[in-house]
Structure 1
Amino acid sequence: MTHQTATESSERGSDTTRQTFAAVGSIAGGVVLLTVGILQFLEGISAVAKDKILVVGPQYTYQFDVTAWGWIHIVLGVLIAVTGISLMAGLAWARITALILVALSIIANFLWLPYNPWWAVLVIALDVFVIWAISTWDPDRF
């Protein structure tokens, strides 16, 4: 018979709560990844079509042609969406791939700031949440 102190019980309960929240966050992260992937894909199509919603400033250090940015977003969007579906399916490779793709998404959206700042900041914030959820979730402890 094991004797459990109140502190150990409290720590275990807190850890279980944290893991439950992280597991739900990881599934939500998969949904967010899928959503962000689809939206980045659509944004890429908008850029390739030279849509009027994009603003191109005269001087920018990391300036590419809008069409090039469009293709970057299309490819990244498809990869992120597929990884989001895989993450929701519980595939082991999807966690590491998601972390890598989300890091690339943060970089791409930071460089995309002058073209569509509100969207870029929103995606960066969602990507940070996904990184937290995926990296703190331990499926063996849930």
Structure 2
Amino acid sequence: MKRLFLLTCLLVNCLAAHAKSSDHVVVITRQDSSINTISKSQLRNLFMSNLALPDVTPIALSPGEVARSIFNIRVIGLTESRIQAYWAQMRFSGRQQRPETADSIDELILMIESSKDTIGYLPEGTPLPEDIKIIYRSSAQ
């Protein structure tokens, strides 16, 4: 039990150290998208394949990215391990597909820029190109 507590404390400290200056995320899409705002519950449904917005494709950062952990906890409300267990169950049952993933922040921005109907999340404060707009901020909640 003491080991588990110690490991949990170490993990939290590591995440805090890697979060740098921001422990919040922003959700982005292209400027010409019809989506100007999105709610936390819509994001949760979209990224967990309950399709809150039928014509929108979510793009997630790959596991291990700090912004992914922040998004999962602040927006989805689940830890990475719980989300992985959920997707394993969905894959086994053949019911749903997990969102596409980007290996880096730069790749995610390029994927968003290349398709009008995509959204993704980034650490708050990430410099954005002019053709990208923010539609949600986790810090505003």
Please report the TM-score for the alignment, with normalisation by the length of structure 1: 0.31
Which one scores higher on RCO, CA 8 angstroms, separation ≥ 6? Answer: 2
Higher helix share: 1
Higher strand share: 2
From the CA coordinates, give the structure whose radius of gyration is larger. Answer: 1
Please report the TM-score for the alignment, with normalisation by the length of structure 2: 0.31
